[in-house]
Every structure is written in structure tokens, then in C-alpha cells.
Amino acid sequence: MKPKVYITRKLPEGVVTKLSERFEVNMYEDENSVVPRDILLKEVKDVDGLICLLTDKIDQELLEQAKNLKIIANIAVGYNNIDVNAAAQKGIVVTNTPGVLTEATADLTFALLMATARRLPEASSYLRRGEWGTWSLMQMTGQEIYGSTIGIIGLGRIAEALVKRAKGFNMRVIYYNRTRKTDKEAELGIEYCELNSLLQQSDFVSILIPYSPEVHHLIGEKELLLMKKDAILINTARGGLVDEVALYEALAKGQIWGAGLDVFEEEPVPSDHPLLTLPNVVTLPHIGSSTVKTRMKMASLAVDNIVNVLEGKSPLTPVN
């Protein structure tokens, strides 16, 4: 009997072939919707491997059902959708997709920073609405990027890649990380700061740490009040790191100048979300790693993790 693998979302054919050559593969055939919970719970009952996305909640209830499960391969670097401790207790390997999405996500983070600072979506809609009467001196003025100060919260893979982009724009880079990385300070030409000091000094604050309950609402009312009035907050990590109610207040009252958000506390964002009503917020539908090449690499890495573990080898990128 071949080991069984379930995939929670339709993946490109080329990626799935490597699995179907070896295992009995079953896949939720819709590309654009989350597998319903009841179907997922039924499907995992006798599978050996599971490939899932960050939209799938892999919790204790699910793990109780999955008696044969040996590996959960998440197609994302963040894995806050999975109860990793509960999986570890059951001897189930959890893998993610670090590294392969670093450059694409750093690109998107910098693109979002630029789009927010220079009001690109707002300026484009203004032109399309036919409101561009004439050129005027202070029309659609944004914030200067070149030579400004960026404060990065976290100094992992994506943050490091972002530093390189920021240096290309002659930015002063300060960072906060739970462990100070003095070797990186010299290598990258960056300075360490405590969080509050970083918030006070930065023209741009970029959040790039994983989400966990310990850092829920890391950026809330108190932190936003520390930021400069003309500062911009960029979140391409996870929505739960920012208190969105406090952020709305800070933006609406002009306590900070703008925000660029790729991630939200609730995803997909409800269409009546207050943040969507503000002109000084640029919003994206969680597309940090979304390039054709990167998404293919992420799916392939998840597949390779499944193959390795189900063939008795070590996982390539385990998180537990």
C-alpha cells in the first residue's frame, strides 16, 4: 500500500506529479477557496502526509483525527496556523518554506513602502477619475524615501534582504530583534535600537517577525503614539502583530502619516473594514511572496519535504 497524501488546495500539475508517482494523492480541487473544515477533518483521517496553506487551521482537533499523519508541510514560512507543539507531542514533523521566498517578500515590502510614501494607488485613481486639472507645486506630495531612516522590527532572512534594498536608497537602517546580532551590524552597516527608540527615530517602520500570541498587538496605541507624525508603518509579516483599531485611530487622527499593509488580523479583509476607507493606507491581499517563480519554489519545497519524510529521510526545512 502506498502512503497517502492530502493537499488542501489545487497545486500546479508539475508540482503534484512528483508526489503522485510515489504516493496515493488526493487534492482539494478548488484553486480559490479554502477546503471546508468538515472535508478537511474527513480527508486527514488516514493520510500519512498533509500539504496545507496558511489558510488551513491545523489544531488539536484535527491532529486527533489524523492517526497516521507523519508530516505536515506548510506552504509558507510563517506557521502560526499550525499547533506545532501538539504536532510535536504526536511525533508529527512540521515543515515550512523558508529562504525560497525571502527575496520576493523583501521586494514586495520595499514596493509597498514606496507605493505608500509616494501615494501611488491614490494618484493613479485621481488621474483615472479625470480629476487631474493641472500640474501644481504641492499636488500629491508624499514622503521622501532616499536618505530617510527605516526601523526594521526583526532581523531574520527577509529583514536582511530588505536592508540591502534600503541601503540602495541611502537609508539609515536601525533594527530591533529579540536577540541582538552584532556581527550583522558591522556586515550590513546597521544599528541596534530598543523598540521604543526605533519607533521614535524611524521615518518608516517595517515589521518582519513571526506572529505568536506573545507578540499579539506588538504595535498598539502606545507604540503608535511614539512614532513620528510623518512616519509610515509597513506590515508584511502577520496581521495580529498590529492592533488595527489603534492603527485606524492613529491614521485618522494624523498621529502617523500612512500605512502599507499586506496582512490583516482577519483575512480575507471584510469589505467594510474601516482601514479600507482611509486614503493614507495602501492595502494588499497578502501577496508578499507572490511571484510565479517563488510560489513554484515554495510548493516544490513542501513536496520535497513530504517525499523525504515519507521515504524515511530527514525533512529539509523542519520547524519542530
Q: Catalogue the active-site residues.
A: 238, 267, 286
Helical pair 292-310 and 13-20, crossing angle rounded to 10 deg: 10
236 near ligand NAP (CB under 6 A): yes
263 near ligand NAP (CB under 6 A): yes
Q: Which position among 25, 66, 101, 166 is part of the footprint of ligand NAP (CB under 6 A)? A: 101
Q: Which position among 174, 198, 205, 237 is part of the footprint of ligand NAP (CB under 6 A)? A: 237
Q: Which position among 78, 151, 258, 315 is part of the footprint of ligand NAP (CB under 6 A)? A: 78
220 near ligand NAP (CB under 6 A): no
Listing DSSP states for the chain in one string gives ---EEEESS---HHHHHHHHTTSEEEE---SSSPPPHHHHHHHGGG-SEEEE-TTS-B-HHHHHH-TT--EEEESSS--TTB-HHHHHHTT-EEE---STTHHHHHHHHHHHHHHHHTTHHHHHHHHHTT------TTTT-----TT-EEEEE--SHHHHHHHHHHHHTT-EEEEE-SS--HHHHHHHT-EE--HHHHHHH-SEEEE-S---GGGTTSB-HHHHHHS-TT-EEEE-S-GGGB-HHHHHHHHHTTSSSEEEES--SSSSPPTT-GGGG-TTEEE--S-TT-SHHHHHHHHHHHHHHHHHHHTTS--SSB--
Q: Which of residues 26-55 bind ligand NAP (CB under 6 A)?
A: none
Q: Which is nearer to ligand NAP, 112 or 310 (CB)?
A: 112
Please work out the total of residues on this chain that contact ligand NAP, with binding judged by CB under 6 A. 28
178 near ligand NAP (CB under 6 A): yes
Q: Which is nearer to ligand NAP, 121 or 156 (CB)?
A: 156
Q: What is the smallest separation between the CB atom of 175 and ligand NAP, expressed in angstroms?
A: 9
77 near ligand NAP (CB under 6 A): yes
Q: Which position among 95, 148, 206, 289 is part of the footprint of ligand NAP (CB under 6 A)? A: 289
Query: Of the listed pieces 45-53, 84-92, 282-290, 303-311, which binds ligand NAP according to CB under 6 A?
Result: 282-290
Q: Which is nearer to ligand NAP, 24 or 107 (CB)?
A: 107
Position closest to ligand NAP via CB: 156
- Residues at the site binding ligand NAP, with contacts judged by CB under 6 A: 77-78, 98, 101-102, 105, 154-159, 177-179, 208-211, 215, 236-238, 262-263, 286, 288-289
